[in-house]
Structure 1
Amino acid sequence: MTMYDDRGQAEENHMARAEEMAFRVTARRNRLLGQWAAIQMGLTPEETDAYAKAVVQADFEEAGDEDVVRKLFGDLTAAGVNTDDAAVRRALAEKAIEARRQLMQSE
C-alpha cells in the first residue's frame, strides 16, 4: 500500500509544481504585456512599472485572458494608440513564449 501512497504523493507534487509554473508564466507574461503596452503608450519608467503591476492584477478579475485583453485594448485605445484586438492577442502569445523562456532559464 505504501508504494501506491508514494506514487499518489509524487503525482500530487508534480501537479502542484505544474500549476505553480503555469501561474508564474501567466504572471510574468502579464508583466511583459504591461511593459509592452506602456512603451506603446509612451509611459515613463515609473509609470511603466506601475502599469505592468496593474496588468498583472487585472488578470484576477475573471478566469482566462479576456480580462487582460480587455484592459490592454481599452487602455491602448484610450491613449490614442492605433491598435486592434488581433495585435493585443498577438502580443499576448509572444509574451507567453518569452515568459516561459525566461522562467526556464532562471531555474
Structure 2
Amino acid sequence: MTTFDKREEGFERKYVLDEELQFKANARRNKMLGLWAAEKLGLSGDAAEDYANSIVAADFEEAGDDDVFRKIRRDFDAKNVQQSDHQIRRTMDELLQKATEQVRSQVK
C-alpha cells in the first residue's frame, strides 16, 4: 500500500466518522427539540417522551431539517402555541450546537 493509498484511506475513515457524529448529533437535537416542543404543547411524562420520539422519526421523511420544522409548526398551529418560525428555527440551531458539543465530548 502506498502512502497515497494510506492517506486516502485515512480521509475516508474520517469522513465516515464525521457523518456518523453528525447523524448522532441530529438525532440528539431532535430528541431535545421534541422535549422542548412537548413542554410548549403542555405535554409531560410519557406523552412528552412519545412526542419527542415522533420528532426524531419525522426527520427520516426527507433530507434536511424541513420535515422536522413542518411537524412542529403544524403541531403548534393545531394547539395555538405562539412561536414564530424564527423562534422554532433558532431553537433548532441552538439545540444542534448543544447536541454536537455533547456528541463530540463523548468521542474524546
Query: Is TM-score (shorter-chain normalized) higher than 0.5?
Result: yes
- 8 Å contact kept, 2:21–2:104: no
Distance 1:26 1:100 in 2: 8
Provide TM-score, normalisation by structure 1. Answer: 0.93
Distance 1:96 1:60 in 2: 16
Q: What are the ranges of 5 or more consecutive residues in structure 2 without an aligned counterpart?
A: none
Provide TM-score, normalisation by structure 2. Answer: 0.92
Q: How does 1:32-71 map to 2 (within 5 A)?
A: 32-71=32-71
Distance 2:33 2:96 in 1: 9
1:62 alignment partner, SS class: coil
Moved over 3 A (4+): none
- 8 Å contact kept, 2:32–2:52: yes
Distance 1:104 1:19 in 2: 12
> Residue 90 of structure 2 corresponds to which residue in structure 1?
90
1:12 alignment partner, SS class: helix
Number of aligned residue pairs: 107
Q: CA deviation at 1:60?
A: 0.8
Q: CA deviation at 1:65?
A: 0.8
AA paired with 1:27?
A: A
AA paired with 2:47?
A: E
Distance 1:51 1:102 in 2: 22
> Residue 23 of structure 1 corresponds to which residue in structure 2?
23
2:83 alignment partner, SS class: coil
Q: CA deviation at 1:104?
A: 2.4
Supply the RMSD in Å over aligned alpha carbons.
1.1
Q: CA deviation at 1:78?
A: 1.0
